[in-house]
Amino acid sequence: MITKVEIQGQKFTMDLSKPIDISIPLSGSSKNPSAWYLSPPEISPVIMDNFVGSVKDGASTNFNTIVFNPHAHGTHTECIGHITKDFHGIGDALKEFHFICELITLEPISYQGDLVITKGQLSKALLGKKPTAVILRTLPNEKGKLSRQYSHTNPAYLLEDAALFLRQIGVKHLLIDLPSVDKEKDGGALLAHKAFWGFHGDQRLDATITEFIFVPNHIKDNTYFLNLQIVSFVNDASPSKPVLYELI
């Protein structure tokens, strides 16, 4: 279905029948990706008295309970409430769901024994563009990201000045294929989160960070139309489903 839209005075055309889902499905399995030292998610039938919520076990419906953590178990979108004493909900932060975005691919570089994304890399990749949303795919980009266990592995992350650069050029929505924009064990510094959201100054209550995405290799770096979908959780973060559409 060919559709034309106008965003911020610019007109775009896309085919809505060809979505590109860059979320990671959540499963009740040890193969589900995980971080932050938690056990895998659980999806299991309700058991109550003589009732088992499973059609194969004789129930009329499948009636499952799902136990998971948005930050640890897959694609999720978070707001500044992730790092503030006062409550800020993702539903209040994200009230628009359609954006023009730039997909860029970068290979983290070595820095003080870690692998990091720098301001210089982002600036070079964006070529002077100032998009509302940026999707960052990191190399190597292996399908193992769909099931990787990240706890105690010190994954790549963004340096503080890289996150600050994105804020300064007006990026409101950052999506990455890592479990966090910050170093796994940083003593609670959260430098990239705080720089992106303007934690110590003019806080950006309408900016979001989406982590744990996966962008297949055949999707080329380019400008896309982004539909960023969340669940209506009253929480700082929600499972999310970012979907891209090629512009034609």
**What is the SS3 assignment for 12-36?**
EEEECCCCEECCCCCCCCCCCCECC
DSSP letter string, 136-178: EEESS--GGGGT-B-TTS---EE-HHHHHHHHHTT--EEEESS
CA distance 228 to 248: 20
Name residue, tokens 């510094």: 189
The number of folded domains in the chain is 1
Residue 40: inside a domain, yes or no? no
Please report, for the domain that includes residue 200, its CATH number.
Answer: 3.50.30.50
In a domain, 60, yes or no: no
**Is there a domain that residue 53 lies in?**
no
Q: Domain range spanning residue 183?
A: 2-26+70-246
Q: Which two tokens stand for residue 183?
A: 């170093």
Is residue 219 one of the residues assigned to a domain?
Answer: yes
Within-domain flag for 65: no
Are 182 and 212 in contact by the 8 Å Cβ rule? The answer is no
Q: What is the DSSP letter of 186?
A: S
Q: Is residue 103 part of a domain?
A: yes
pLDDT tens digit at each of 248 positions of the chain: 898 888 778 888 999 999 999 999 999 999 999 999 999 999 999 999 999 999 999 999 999 999 999 999 999 999 999 999 999 999 999 999 999 999 999 999 999 999 999 999 999 999 999 999 999 999 999 999 999 999 999 999 999 999 999 999 999 999 999 999 999 999 999 999 999 999 999 999 999 999 999 999 999 999 999 999 999 999 999 999 999 999 98
Please name the helix (run of DSSP H) or strand (run of DSSP E) that holds residue 194, with its range, or none: helix 191-197
Residue at 132 is within a domain: yes
Decide if 102 is inside a domain: yes
